[in-house]
Chain A
Amino acid sequence: MSIVREVVNNTIKEIQDQNGFDKIELKEEMKIVNDLGFASLDVAQMIATFEMELGVDPFQEGVSLMDVVTIGDIYNVYQEYVDKKQG
């Protein structure tokens, strides 16, 4: 599994655990807000953790919040920016 996927999955699971939610299998098509039940602070924590762990902040580069609705969107956006940074 790529580092990006690992960080994303671990972070999401950490927040679910923090909220006392049941552990569910993560799927790419799941929506962060609707399916995972994340509130604004959870989403904010998730994005801040990605920045800390992966060293990239796509939103500073012009990525919109509209582009990260599903788990799959998150994998793609962060993989792109991690690749750019390493490239």
Chain B
Amino acid sequence: METYHSIINRLEEYRDNEFLVYKGISYLYADLINSINNWFDKIKRIGIEQGQCISIIGEYSFNAFSLFLALQLNNNIIVPISTEAKHLKDKIFDVACVDGYFESSENDEWNYTLIGPVPKHPLLNKLILNHEPGLVIFTSGTTGEKKGAVIQILKLISKFDNRERKPYRSLIFMKLDHIGGVNTFYSIIYNGGTIITAEDRTPELVCSAIEENKVELLPTTPTFLNMLVISGIFKLYDLSSLKVISYGTEPMPQSTLRVLNTIFPSIILKQTYGLTELGIFATKSRESDSTWMKIGGDGVETRIVNNTLFIRTKSAMLGYLNAPSPFDEEGWYNTGDQVEIDGDYLKILGRKEDVINVGGDKVHPAEVESVLLEIPNIKEVIVYGKDSPVVGKLVAAKVVLINPEDIQDLKKRIYDFCRLKLQKHQIPRLISISEKNLVNDQFKKKRELN
């Protein structure tokens, strides 16, 4: 298989390089290649055929990476699910036409469960007919319903084929079911770099992993960087190995950037930009302390219409499995991001629609409102994003009650109810009571409360 040889050959060039440090154990690229081959044989023995949709449920590990690549080499369509999203697995399996799944247990062991042959969506059939591997990544939709984006892996990695980059020792921060995590993974292995994993994404554990493993590149989010600053933990660890901190998924406050440049004067702070639907793009920041950047590179075109950024790119997804195509007839994608322009440089201001970006996670007010209206004594509700110096935006709710109630009791009831129905970042953390109606004359919700 053409793909098999080209990827294995690429990894062979780095066989003596360190590939991964996981739970204190170091693995070389030679170990990775052996493991991929072992998994490839096992996949065949299990009877997993090319073109089948196979899910991987779990967190990063040596076997997670080698299994992922073995499935890719077998031209499967991979549906990664992190532990945090496991409660959505049935819905994901349904949308992504999953035929079987691997799930991790302790000690990096992975067990396979066959679901059975499932009829495929036309977009998946395109990949199957082309004998090429694919990826399905879920992203938030306009109504909160997660949309399954079908991605051609070979197009995603084509930008790494020809470009030589420095083989950094890099922490992997975003998960494998996030386009950022996938992009980081491929960018490291295609350049013979080293992946470092942290036990969890807290400032303490990340700093500890950086110090212990001499991490050079930290790809992360503005919210994490805010927490790093506010905790002061960076002072307790030797982070002198760090050369680059890249950030994305949410707008970066200028104040945070200024503080980071003061704390880390010799580290390059690099903004990234990307979407599940389009991939992650090469950007060029104007200066290290600036959020102005150029977005582009081979095969990427941008245009601005009414201050909104549109992008057209060869690495775009094929489409959604459970929603209409978001591309216009000429292949342009409306990112929804409002931008300022200065010559060739752009500054991302934030999203136009109601979506609340909480530390990089998108929250749809309608979805949260729907849950709140199930709570006894709540007559009317409006959910909005409150500006936060820590997470960008925080979910807040204004409620109209049927009967008067103590605000502390109400807050507790709301939190306890929402914990069972919503993810952490979706739960309203600021509650206020309104005596008045929450709609305007056109019966539209008055969301501009911030």
B430 adjacent to A65 (CB under 8 Å): no
Across the interface, B394 reaches (CB within 8 A) one of A32, A39, A48, namely A48
The segment out of B115-123, B174-182, B383-391 that lies at the interface is B383-391
Q: Count of B residues near A, CB < 8 Å?
A: 34
A40 adjacent to B415 (CB under 8 Å): no
Residues of B within 8 A of A48 (CB): 386, 388, 394, 396, 429-430
B223 adjacent to A65 (CB under 8 Å): no
The segment out of B17-25, B27-35, B229-237 that lies at the interface is B229-237
Number of A-B contacts (CB under 8 A): 80
- State the CA gap A41–B429 with chains docked (Å): 8
Chain B nearest CB from A21 CB (Å) reads 14
B432 on interface, CB distance cutoff 8 Å: yes
- State the CA gap A17–B415 with chains docked (Å): 11
Residues of B within 8 A of A65 (CB): 226, 229-230, 256, 259, 389-390
A14 on interface, CB distance cutoff 8 Å: yes
B232 adjacent to A43 (CB under 8 Å): no
A44 adjacent to B408 (CB under 8 Å): no
Q: Count of A residues near B, CB < 8 Å?
A: 24
Closest to A43 in B: B390
A86 on interface, CB distance cutoff 8 Å: no
Indicate with 1 or 0, residue by residue over B414-443, a CB within 8 angstroms of chain A CB atoms.
Answer: 010000000011000110100000000000
- State the CA gap A14–B231 with chains docked (Å): 20
| A69 touching B231 in the complex, CB below 8 Å, given contacts A41-B394, A41-B429, A44-B429 | yes
- State the CA gap A13–B230 with chains docked (Å): 19
B204 on interface, CB distance cutoff 8 Å: yes
Residues of A within 8 A of B412 (CB): 17-18
B255 adjacent to A41 (CB under 8 Å): no
B58 on interface, CB distance cutoff 8 Å: no
A66 on interface, CB distance cutoff 8 Å: yes
Query: For B204, B390, B432, which residue has the most chain A Cβ atoms within 10 angstroms?
Result: B390
Across the interface, B232 reaches (CB within 8 A) one of A39, A47, A69, namely A69
B134 on interface, CB distance cutoff 8 Å: no
A40 adjacent to B226 (CB under 8 Å): yes
- State the CA gap A34–B234 with chains docked (Å): 12
A24 on interface, CB distance cutoff 8 Å: no
Question: What are the 9 A-B residue pairs with the smallest beta carbon separation, nearest first?
Answer: A33-B231, A45-B429, A59-B389, A44-B390, A65-B230, A44-B388, A69-B232, A44-B391, A44-B394
